Chains A and B, each alone.
Chain A
Amino acid sequence: MEILVCIKRVPDTSENEINVNRDGTDIERDDLVYSVNEWDNYAVEEAIQIRDRVCGSVTVVTVGDEETEEVVRREMAMGADKGVLLSDEVFKNSDGRGIAGIIKAEVKKGKYDLILTGAQADDGAGQVGGMLAAMLDWPYASLATLIEVTDDKKIKVGREIEGGNLEMLEIDLPCVLSIQTGINEPRYVGIRGIRKTASAEIPVHGAGDLGLSPESVGKSGSKIKQLDYFVPDAGEGAEILEGSVDEIAEKLVELLKARGGIK
C-alpha cells in the first residue's frame, strides 16, 4: 500500500501561550515552540503501522518554507520512508483550498492508494483532506479512529461520531481519510533518531514543478482572508483567585463548600 500523509508545522499550543502581536496582524511569533501538528503525528503513526502490516511505503508531504523541513525529518525519523516539501514563494497565504490544490498536484505525480491527514490543525478548520478528496474524486471519511485493511481494493474504517460511538464504513481505495487523535499511540522520537535523517534527501517541489499557475494559489487564489487577530472580550469570565497557594486553597474550599462541592 502506497500511503501519503499530509503534515503541517504549527506552533505547539500545549507548550506556548499564544498572544496577538502589537498591530493585530498576526500572533506573536518570537520564541514560539513549533512542532508537527498533533493530529498529523497520529496519521503518520497509523500509516507506518499499516505499512508494517501490509507492506508498501509511507511518504510525508507538507506545504511550507525551508523551516518546515524539520517536521518532515521528524516524521521520517518515526519511520516514514520518504518526505516531500512543497515550497514556493507564490504558495504563501494560500487558504485551505489553495493548500489542497497544491497537494493534489503532488498526488497526481505519484500513485497512492491511501492519503491521510490530521483531522484538524492550528486553525481548527479541518478542511484540506475533504477538499483534496473532492478534487481527486476519491471517497473521503473524516475523524477516523480505526482502520483495517480488508484487501488491496477496500478498507474498513471507524469514524468517531457523537458520544464516542463509531460509524463503521467500508471504503474503496484509493481514498482520503482524516485521522482523529487516539487512533494509536504515536512512537517517541528522540533527537538521535532525528539526527539520523539529517542526510536524507527531501525533494522540494515548487509551482513550476507541479504545473500550478501562480494565480491559483497564494493570496490571489484565496476566497477567504484574515483581517486581524484579536483576543475576544473576556466577558464575565472566571473570577481569578489571587494570593498565596495557601490563601487560594482556603478560599476555594470555602467556595466549594458553599456550592455543595464537598460531600
Chain B
Amino acid sequence: MVRQVFAYIVHKEGVADDTALEMVAAAKRIDSDASITAIVAGTGADLNVVCNEIASSYQEVWKIDSEALSYPNAEAIRTLLVRILPKEGLIIAPHDTFGMDLAPGLSIKLDAAYLPDAVDIEGVDENRLKAVRQEYSGQVSTHVVCDISGGAVITARPGSFKADESKGAGGQVVDKTAEALEGGFPETGRRFIEVAEAEVGDVDITKSDILVSVGRGIEDEDNLEIVYDLARAMGGDVACSRPVVDARWLEKSRQVGTSGKTVKPKVYMALGISGSFQHQGGIKGSPFMVAINKNPKAPIFQAADVGVVADILDFVPELTDKINGSR
C-alpha cells in the first residue's frame, strides 16, 4: 500500500515558506515511497505562483482558492481541510505560529493522533510511527510512538528536517476549491482585522556584525550594565532573547528569534541564553557563536562554536576587562 502523506504549505506574498521542502523530507522519513501531496490555500496570482513553485517537489499540489483566504485564518482552514482530507490520512504542518494555531484542533476534528513539534521521524512499523521530540526547554529528548491507525496530524519543527531539494516529483496542480467550499466558506467565530507591524527600535540589530545577546541569566535589569560594557568593548550592539523583553528590560526590537528579529552577524555572543529553537531560528548566516551559560545542559552549547560554563554575572565583567586591557 502506498501511504499518502499531506503537507500544509505556509506561504506569504507568493513565496512558499522554507518548511515546504523540509516537510517533503519529513514525509519521506515516514515512508520513502509515500505519495506526498501539498495543500496550498490562498487566492489569486500569489497562490498560483506558490503552487507552481512547489509542484516539482510534490507529486500533487491541492489548491484551494478563495478571496476569503487572502489572509490565512486557521479556524476556517481547519474546516476546509476536514472536508477534503481522506479518512486516516497523515498530514504534516510546520510547528510555527500558524501550525500551532491549526494543528491541535485539526487532530480532534479528524479524530486522529497528534504528534506535535517532531524534530526527527524514525519510520513506521505497522501503524506505529516512531519520532523524536524534545522536552524541558530542549534539555532532554524523547522517543515517542504514535498510533496512526486513525490518521495523524504532525507538526514538524522548522529547521529540523533538511530541505529536500531533489525536485523530481513533477507534480500536478489539482484545484480542490469546489470540494473544499462545498457548503460555502466556513463560518468561524474568529475574524481577521489586520496585522499590526512590530515597532521599530533605536538600534537595527539586523544590520549588526557583532551582537552581544543576553537572556534570562542576567537575572535583573540593573545587571544589564555588564552587557552594555561588553558590547562597547567589542564594538557591537546589544540584543536579547525573549525573557528579557517579557520582563520589559529591553525593547522588543532587540529580540532575536522567530517572534523577534532575524539577524545575521559575524559574531554572536549568547550570554545566559538557554537557546530555544525559536531563539536559534532567528540567527542566520552561521556566525561565530560563543555561549556563556551556567547550565552545561543548555541547548545553546549544541549550536555554539565555543562555550564557557560560567555565571555571566561573574564572567562577563572579567571578559570585558580582558578586552579593554588587551588594547
Indicate which residue in B133, B196, B296 contacts A168 across the interface (CB closer than 8 Å).
B196
Q: Is A163 in contact with B260, judged by CB distance below 8 angstroms?
A: yes
Residues of A within 8 A of B132 (CB): 232
Q: Does A200 contact B (CB under 8 A)?
A: no
Chain B min CB distance to A32 (Å): 10
Interface segment, one of A61-69, A206-214, A223-231:
A223-231
Q: Is A140 in contact with B75, judged by CB distance below 8 angstroms?
A: yes
Query: With the chains together, A129 CA to B104 CA distance in Å?
Result: 8
Q: Is A240 in contact with B319, judged by CB distance below 8 angstroms?
A: no
**Chain B residues numbered 102-144 whose CB sits less than 8 Å from any CB in chain A:** 103-109, 113-117, 130, 132-144
Q: Does B322 contact A (CB under 8 A)?
A: yes
Residues of B within 8 A of A100 (CB): 108
Chain B min CB distance to A101 (Å): 9
Q: Does A143 contact B (CB under 8 A)?
A: yes
Q: Is A135 in contact with B305, judged by CB distance below 8 angstroms?
A: no
Q: Is B116 in contact with A161, judged by CB distance below 8 angstroms?
A: no
As a 0/1 sequence over residues 212 to 254 of chain A, the CB contacts with chain B under 8 angstroms (1 = contact) are 0000000000011111111110110111110001101110110
Residues of B within 8 A of A185 (CB): 247-248
Chain B min CB distance to A57 (Å): 23
**Chain A residues numbered 163-177 whose CB sits less than 8 Å from any CB in chain B:** 163-172, 175
Query: With the chains together, A127 CA to B11 CA distance in Å?
Result: 23
Q: Is B308 in contact with A240, judged by CB distance below 8 angstroms?
A: yes
Q: Is B189 in contact with A138, judged by CB distance below 8 angstroms?
A: yes
Also in contact, A134 and B105, with CB within 8 A (given A124-B133, A230-B140, A260-B266): yes
Residues of B within 8 A of A256 (CB): 234, 267, 290, 323
Residues of A within 8 A of B107 (CB): 97, 131, 134
Query: With the chains together, A228 CA to B142 CA distance in Å?
Result: 6
Query: With the chains together, A133 CA to B106 CA distance in Å?
Result: 11
Indicate which residue in B116, B192, B235, B255 contacts A169 across the interface (CB closer than 8 Å).
B192
Q: Does B297 contact A (CB under 8 A)?
A: yes
Residues of A within 8 A of B288 (CB): 255, 259, 261
Q: Is B308 in contact with A248, judged by CB distance below 8 angstroms?
A: yes
Nearest chain A residue, comparing its CB with the CB of B192: A169
Also in contact, A241 and B105, with CB within 8 A (given A182-B246, A252-B290): no
Indicate which residue in B100, B189, B198, B210 contacts A126 across the interface (CB closer than 8 Å).
B100
As a 0/1 sequence over residues 95 to 125 of chain A, the CB contacts with chain B under 8 angstroms (1 = contact) are 0110010000000000000000001001111
Query: With the chains together, A228 CA to B145 CA distance in Å?
Result: 10
Q: Is A162 in contact with B96, judged by CB distance below 8 angstroms?
A: yes
Indicate which residue in A13, A123, A156, A260 contacts B139 across the interface (CB closer than 8 Å).
A13
Chain A min CB distance to B292 (Å): 9
Q: Does B222 contact A (CB under 8 A)?
A: no
Residues of A within 8 A of B266 (CB): 259-261
Q: Is A240 in contact with B301, judged by CB distance below 8 angstroms?
A: yes
Residues of B within 8 A of A17 (CB): 139, 295-297
Also in contact, A260 and B306, with CB within 8 A (given A18-B297, A97-B114, A142-B100): no
Chain B min CB distance to A244 (Å): 10
Q: Does A9 contact B (CB under 8 A)?
A: no
Query: With the chains together, A142 CA to B319 CA distance in Å?
Result: 41
Residues of B within 8 A of A171 (CB): 189-191
Chain A min CB distance to B89 (Å): 15
Q: Does A198 contact B (CB under 8 A)?
A: no
Q: Does B243 contact A (CB under 8 A)?
A: yes
Q: Is B114 in contact with A127, judged by CB distance below 8 angstroms?
A: yes
Chain B min CB distance to A47 (Å): 18
Q: Does B101 contact A (CB under 8 A)?
A: yes
As a 0/1 sequence over residues 43 to 81 of chain A, the CB contacts with chain B under 8 angstroms (1 = contact) are 000000000000000000000000000000000000000
Q: Is B117 in contact with A125, judged by CB distance below 8 angstroms?
A: yes
Query: With the chains together, A190 CA to B319 CA distance in Å?
Result: 36
| A-B pairs with beta carbons under 8 Å apart, 22 shown | A18-B140, A124-B133, A124-B134, A127-B104, A130-B103, A134-B78, A141-B190, A143-B100, A159-B101, A161-B195, A164-B255, A164-B260, A181-B246, A224-B144, A224-B145, A227-B142, A234-B302, A237-B304, A238-B302, A238-B305, A253-B323, A256-B290
6 interchain residue pairs of minimum CB distance:
A263-B235, A130-B104, A238-B307, A134-B105, A172-B189, A139-B189
Instruction: List 14 additional A-B contacts (Cβ < 8 Å) besides A168-B194, A249-B319, A257-B326.
Output: A130-B108, A134-B78, A138-B189, A142-B97, A158-B196, A164-B261, A182-B245, A229-B141, A231-B141, A239-B306, A249-B318, A256-B267, A261-B267, A262-B234
